[in-house]
Structure 1
Amino acid sequence: MHLRFTEQELATLVEMVSLAADVASWNRKPGSDDGVSAYDSLENKILEKAHNTGLSDAIEWDEEKQRFQVKPEAQDRSFFRECYEEFRNESFWEDLVLRLSDRDLARQIGLANWEKLSEEQRRERTADLEKRYWDEFSKNGIERVAVIYPPSEG
């Protein structure tokens, strides 16, 4: 198969593949190694081709890792890095809100009853809690979040 790209399209492809490989690298689920490896391999192949066809100013060979990579300064100004950071940020806040809301609901109705609920039922029952947490974190970030240790742990 042969594909033809403009230099801008190739740069966009490099960013897309790098974004996918970065996201895949976070997968720690048992059995995911082959999938992560396939993403890394394809990224390296595309970066090598891009390096050899005009994007050498943005791509370099990493001697230690024995693979091509997008240069850090190119990553810093790339759209894929912006997307990646935004994804991580939004995922953090959404996960925090959902986990705290689920924790509060489980405390209210008991863990056994909470486990019987579907995800949709949980979201219906935690809508007000979620809104409250979103409002809190939107205003204060994690500034007012505190870990309270049980007395037995000091």
Structure 2
Amino acid sequence: MHLRFTDKELTTLVEMVSLAASVAMWNRKPGSEEGMAAFESLEQKILGKVKHSGQGEMIEFDESKQMHQITLEYQEGSYFQECYDEFRNELFWEEMVIRLADRDLARVIGKVAWEKLSEEQRRERTQDIEKRYWEEFTKNGIERVAVIFPPEEG
């Protein structure tokens, strides 16, 4: 199969493949190695072809890793980096809200009762708590978050 791309389309393809590979690296689940290897292989194939075709000023070869990669200079203003940063940011806040809401629910109903609930039941019971945390973090970020250590830990 042969595909023809404009320079702009090729740049978009490079960004899409690199974004997909960056997100896939978050998968640490046992057995995901084969999928990750497939993503990396395709990314390397595309980056290598683009680099060697003379259109790859945004691509460099890292000798220590023996891999092609998008240059840091290009990444800084790129759309794919913006998407990746937004993904990580949203993931952080979502996990923070869910974990805090789950912690609060477990404190109210007890850990044993909490463990018996399905994920759907937990989300149903923590909707109001999650909403309160979302409002707090939207307004104040982590500015008012504090860790309280038990007295025995100082």
C-alpha offsets along residues 58-92 of structure 1, whole Å, 9 cap, x if unaligned? Answer: 11111111111111111111111000000000110
Instruction: Write out aligned runs for 1:62-77 (5 A).
Output: 62-77=62-77
* Separation in structure 1 between the aligned mates of residue 31 and residue 12 of structure 2, nearest angstrom: 30
Runs (5+) with no aligned partner, structure 2: none
C-alpha offsets along residues 86-111 of structure 1, whole Å, 9 cap, x if unaligned? Answer: 00001100110011001100111111
* Separation in structure 2 between the aligned mates of residue 55 and residue 61 of structure 1, nearest angstrom: 14
User: How many correspondences in the alignment?
Assistant: 154
* Separation in structure 1 between the aligned mates of residue 28 and residue 153 of structure 2, nearest angstrom: 30
- Give RMSD over aligned pairs: 1.2
Task: Using structure 1 for the length normalisation, give the TM-score.
Answer: 0.94
* Separation in structure 1 between the aligned mates of residue 18 and residue 78 of structure 2, nearest angstrom: 10
Structure 1: 4+ residue segments shifted above 3 A: none
Runs (5+) with no aligned partner, structure 1: none
Q: For residue 85 of structure 1, what is the amino acid of its counterpart?
A: D
Matched residue, 2:23: 23
Matched residue, 2:57: 57
Matched residue, 2:116: 116
Matched residue, 2:85: 85
